[in-house]
Structure 1
Amino acid sequence: MSANFWTDQKFTKRDYTKQKLPKGDYENCRFVDCLFSKGYLDNQNFVECTFEGCDLTNTNIANTTFNDVIFKDCKMVGVQFETCNQLLLSLRFSGCNLSVASFHGMDLPRIIFDGCKFHQTDFTDSNLIQAKFPECDFENALFDGTHLEQADFTSAVNFNIDPSINHINKTRFSEGGLIGLLKKYDIVVT
């Protein structure tokens, strides 16, 4: 355990771009409207924490543990999630902008992304089996070698998933979303 330990604390409207969040263990803490943009959250431990309305754009999260952590209405553009500690990883996202982020090679079965934006986000070689993506926007997101078996894209939009290079057995799509599986063929559906 690290020297610093915080539990049941609320951190509101703090700017951690000038002075870093102290290294340590945070349990059952809430971060509300905090600014971490281009900062460092590396080598931290977050357990049962919530980030609400925070800006984590291009934040370094290398070796950070996220165990049962919720991100709600956060801006997380360019975050490289594959650099965080994968042990005990448990995340949930709601209303977040995850554009240009990367989940490359991550093991995220049954994860829930609710109402998130994934413009140009990298999901290459990820395990997203049984993941749920209600109301998500995948404009120019990258799926290559991605395991999407039994995932739910029924209300997702703008995805381009090539069935010949991804694993999509029993993946759920709406009838209108089927065009996202055919884009590589450059066909016109009327």
Structure 2
Amino acid sequence: MEKPYHADHVFDKIDSLSLGEYEGCTFRNCLFESADFKNFQFVDCRFEDCNVSLAKLSGASFQKVYFQGCKMQGLRFEACNPFLFEVHFKKCVLNLCSFYQINGKGTSFEACTLQEVDFTEANFSEAKFDDCDLAGALFDRSNLEKADFRNAFNYRISPTINRLKKAKFSQDGLAGLLHDFGIEIS
């Protein structure tokens, strides 16, 4: 059975969505907390001021999807369909999310809260973490080459277990790189 196709629609203040393919759609002020997005497909879509915390993402496809002002706590992005996976975030709360083994090359995070987020074995090369709080975020065997952390804060990233070639950091953020070595910076 073929999934319904929706193109260029604006969905405002809804709390449920039927299984289907959504292309060029905008979702505003929607309450999708604990929603089941299993096998949904979102292409060139925008989520604005939505709550998608604890949504189930098994097999969900996110291709060039932008999230702005969204509450997105506890999401397991590794459950998504990896084919053409591309997401971008602005002013979102992504606490307790997992990007385990995700290919997030070039992903942008702008003014986001990313506390306790798991980036284990993920590829976030060329990603931008602009004005992001990374307190408690886990970077373990992650590819962060050419990533930009110059305006990020509260991160702890071990250079011995993560790939950091040509990654960008500010002088203020050096303590987050040297923490594992027991070096005190004042």
Report the TM-score range of the alignment, normalised by the length of the smaller protein: over 0.9
2:89 counterpart of 1:111:
no
Letter in 2 for 1:3: K
- Structure-1-length-normalised TM-score: 0.95
Please tell me whether the aligned partners of residues 2 and 25 of structure 1 are also in contact (alpha carbons under 8 angstroms). Answer: no
- d(CA) in 1 for partners of 2:112 and 2:2? 33
**Structure 2: gaps spanning 5 or more residues:** none
Q: Which residue of 2 aligns with 1:172?
A: 168
- d(CA) in 1 for partners of 2:8 and 2:119? 33
Match of 1:93 among 83, 86, 89: 89
Q: Which residue of 2 aligns with 1:129?
A: 125
SS at match of 1:6: strand
Identity rate, percent: 39
- d(CA) in 2 for partners of 1:68 and 1:145? 26
Letter in 2 for 1:161: I
Q: Write out aligned runs for 1:128-147 (5 A).
A: 128-147=124-143
- d(CA) in 2 for partners of 1:22 and 1:179? 47
Please tell me whether the aligned partners of residues 108 and 128 of structure 1 are also in contact (alpha carbons under 8 angstroms). Answer: yes
Deviation per residue, 1:7-61 (Å, 9 max, x gap): 1111111122xxxx10111111110010111121111011111000000111001
SS at match of 2:130: coil
Letter in 2 for 1:51: F
Alpha-carbon shift at residue 108 of structure 1 (Å): 1.2
Q: Which residue of 2 aligns with 1:7?
A: 7
Match of 1:76 among 72, 78, 81: 72
2:25 counterpart of 1:59:
no
Alpha-carbon shift at residue 66 of structure 1 (Å): 0.8
